[in-house]
Structure 1
Amino acid sequence: MEWLRIAIDYGMIGLLIFLSFLVFAIAIERCLLYRGIRLEDYADRKELEIELTKKLHIIAIIGSNAPYIGLLGTVLGIMLTFYTMGIEGFMDTGKIMVGLALALKVTAVGLVVAIPSVAIYNLLLRKVKVLLMKWEVMNGREGV
């Protein structure tokens, strides 16, 4: 069962860390695009909106699912702890606490990934709305 502990520890946490890097990479790419976009190059609002919102769904998906990945790691860690207790019979409290701490660590990492992801998503979405409003003002379409 040592392999399962390693899979939970490194697999789940590794996945969450990868997802956090993905969020930051997309956020940086989007910020660079927003900074350099020329609104006058777009004749159609929908075309501009498609360009501005590209890849934002990935950040939203990661932000909403990272806690569930953490929760899965927690459930697996607790199951592993109970399984080990059942196999070994009596366990000292130190081993039990280590098993539970391992389980809760994955949940914490899931939250550490989710909270900034949701914040980044909302900040980028706000920037998209501002750019779309600027385009509407430039094209005389306020309130459309």
Structure 2
Amino acid sequence: MPQRIEHIDAIARKKQRGVLIITFHAKNAKNKFCPLFDFPASKRHNWEKDKRRDALCNWLTEHHIDWQPCGSFANENSMISYQGEIYIDVPYDENDPLYVQARDYLENPDGTMRFNTMSFWHLPLKKAMENAHHDEPDFWEKWAADFGD
């Protein structure tokens, strides 16, 4: 069944705060934010078969941390398929116990990632607001009609 997946920047604008995103990639990926750009295609990470991603989703659920699939930062110049990204509904706040719990699961004490096929990102609201015009009524419908012209 089709599922509508929101871009991470749209989620930030709805929440009116910076947001956290987890991306998945091959162990030696050069582009960890958008693994689709790792070439050749045979070297791209298959998030659908990633047991570590499945374990993370289960861990988040078991620890009552809300999460949802999300798209990468929206870009009017390209369309990128879903690459397994996850938004976690926890504020980026060192004093928030859920943030600390998620961070400690994902990162080593020195800030490096615990798992070499994941990256943990914070998208500030200021950056997400660069795409605020995407929230105008029918923006994406108009964009799709003009795409490729």
Question: What TM-score does the superposition give when structure 2 sets the normalisation length?
Answer: 0.24
Q: Which has the higher strand share?
A: 2
Question: What TM-score does the superposition give when structure 1 sets the normalisation length?
Answer: 0.25
Q: Which has the higher helix share?
A: 1
- For the pair shown, the structure with the greater C-alpha radius of gyration is 1
